[in-house]
Amino acid sequence: MGLVRGFLFAAITACAFVVSFTVSALDGKILYTEGTVTVTTGGSSQDAGPGTTVSAGDVVSTGADGLAVVDLSNATQIKLRENTSVTIGALGDNTQVSLSAGALFTRILGKLAGTFSVQAGMTTAGVRGTEFFVAFGRTVDQEPDVWLCVNSGTVDVSVASSGQHVLVPAGKGINIIGGAKLTPPRGYRWTKGLNWNMDPSSGSVEDHTSMNQAYDDLLNHDYN
């Protein structure tokens, strides 16, 4: 009987270890921060820094002086600019994040296992490539514009309210007017100043691109 109990205890312990390992493997981790960065879990907020874990349902936010680089599961990294708020919707085979304010960069490291998407209002960007940028712009008809541009690969952009979708290739960008009306992908001069770097050992990771430049581009009709 003692041998059986010992075996059962060992089996239960092994199972518990496997479950614990699996859960932690689905957690993300903050790799780098500047300024004010917080993680909100279940309504409770804490200051965050390198090594802070993030899980599905958490909200990562940056202040006016803040910046954060976050490693998610599924070989994905995101970089939050200042005054940005992102909810981690899901991690794992179908990683999904929601942008509610500000701007973020995304990067896929190697081959994507599963899917990755970013939601901004009614707009969803599904990854078929490796690097893209999403930001809220000016407010039109009570809803903010959404800007998206692709550095490499292809991104499938769709709008839930209209059912519209478009593939945006590398080097092109789009403006989703009022978060609902897709415009054709074009080359925009303002995107050339974006800082795609997420590795502080390779140089500055800060991006100071003003979204006002995007609207100047529209006024100047410069799409080359």
- The enclosing domain of 31 has a CATH number of 2.60.120.1440
Q: Are 129 and 170 in contact (CB under 8 A)?
A: yes
pLDDT tens, 181-201?
Answer: 899 999 999 999 999 999 999
Residues 37-65 have pLDDT tens digits of 999 999 899 999 999 999 999 999 999 99
Q: Which residue segment(s) compose the domain that 212 sits in?
A: 2-220
Contact between 98 and 58 under an 8 Å Cβ cutoff? The reply is no
| Region 161-179 average pLDDT | 90
Q: Which pTM was predicted?
A: 0.84
Q: What DSSP line would sit under the chain, residue for residue? A: -HHHHHHHHHHHHHHHHHHHHHHHHT-EEEEEEES-EEEEETTEEEE--TT-EE-TT-EEEE-TT-EEEEEETTTEEEEE-TT-EEEEEE-STEEEEEEEESEEEEEE-SS--SEEEEEETTEEEEESSSEEEEEEEEEETTEEEEEEEEEESEEEEEETTT--EEEEETT-EEEEBTTTB----B--GGGGG------GGGS-------THHHHHHHHHT---
* Residue length of the chain: 224
pLDDT band at 74 (very low <50, low <70, confident <90, very high): confident
What percent of the chain clears pLDDT 70, i.e. is strictly above it? 83
Q: Is the pLDDT of residue 138 over 90?
A: no
Domain count, the chain: 1
> How much of the chain exceeds pLDDT 90, in percent?
60
At 129, is the pLDDT very low, low, confident or very high (cuts 50, 70, 90)? low
